[in-house]
Amino acid sequence: MTPIAEETPLPVSLEHVRAAAARLRGVAVRTPLLHDTPLDRLVGGRLLIKAEPLQRTGSFKFRGAYNAIAATTAPAVVAWSSGNHAQGVALAASLLGRRATIVMPADAPRIKQERTRALGAEVVLYDRVRESREAIGATIAERSGAAIVRPYDDPAVIAGQGTVGLEIVEQAMELGLVPDLAVVCCGGGGLIAGCATALRALLPDIRVYAAEPEGHDDTARSLARGERVANPPGVRSICDALLAPEPGELTFAINRRLLAGGLVVSDAEVRRAMALAFTELKVVVEPGGAVALAAVLAGRIDGRGKTVAVVLSGGNVDPDLYARVLQER
């Protein structure tokens, strides 16, 4: 982590995040920053928990998608995703009066296909083994003039996700608090890059940590090495939302400068965090959305005596999996 001022300007600034916040006002939910919860006692510090599962479409992805689509004039957009990005793009496009096409693997759960269609998008299925979703998406974009909405490696997407960090600062100030630390989950790195942009611009001394699942700690290892490294192929994780192969180019350029380091958690620690979010917070959190909380509860950073902002990033979890997590005791 080097001082911010010494190097060339980053691709996303606080002003971009503020502009995104202005676009999202009255459109996105200003999700609550939960405080004074029973989890404080487990950590020995004060947790400020940003409950983004309560965002429209159930995850932060709506913010970045809306900001990116609002920034284009294209009459149509295309994206590839089987998860939260698909729903975020579908709803954002619908609200902005654009047609949306989502490229999704043919074996994606039917519920995800249905939800994306219910939000007004056309779903194009592809064969995960024999076809490339990027190639299909690029062809659709070329033929139809649709703008591609990338899941994370896009300044407008990063700025939109950064409104989570901006709200954390605003809401903490309303409580008269200043976070010492922030922990944010990290797949491709868009959410944490945006959050770190806002957090470190407004609170220069805050230390921002990426949280990742075991076997998918590409950002932690890339931060340690100072260059992007990929995950080994084939490692499974319960955190389906965080399985990007390597850090994004833009996101890593930001994260390399602004983050204090990476924290890694096991699936068992994630399941425990999901169960504690149920009993103590009453917020439904999906596995990938619980990684930052898991890192804090597992003591990967020392939160004692500190004010720690923690982002719960999404709540789109299969009911059967969730039921099993609740029954593990």
Interface positions with its own copies (CB under 8 A): 26, 29-32, 34-38, 51, 53-54, 56, 58, 118, 175-176, 275, 278-279, 281-285, 315, 319-320, 322-324, 326-327, 329
For residue 241, the minimal CB distance to its own copies (Å) is: 14
On whether the CB atoms of residues 268 and 14 are closer than 8 A, the answer is no
Cβ neighbours of residue 306 closer than 8 Å, sequence gap 6 or more: 45, 46, 180, 181
Active-site residue, 313 included? yes
The token pair that represents 220 in the structure block: 């932690």
DSSP characters for 126-137? E-TTT--HHHHH
Cβ neighbours of residue 222 closer than 8 Å, sequence gap 6 or more: 228, 229, 246, 247, 252, 256
Nearest to 15 by CA among 152, 156, 168, 178: 156
Which CB atom, from 213 or from 289, has the smaller least distance to its own copies?
289
Q: Distance (Å, rounded) from C-alpha 67 to C-alpha 249? A: 20
The token pair that represents 106 in the structure block: 């043919």
The catalytically annotated residue of 82, 222, 237, 313 is 313
The catalytically annotated residue of 59, 61, 81, 237 is 61
Active-site residue, 61 included? yes
Q: Distance (Å, rounded) from C-alpha 263 to C-alpha 184? A: 10
Strands laid side by side in the 261-265 sheet:
33-34, 46-51, 307-312, 181-185, 207-213, 261-265
For residue 53, the minimal CB distance to its own copies (Å) is: 4
For residue 47, what are the CA distances in angstroms to 174, 206, 277?
15, 14, 13
What is the set of active-site residues?
Answer: 61, 313
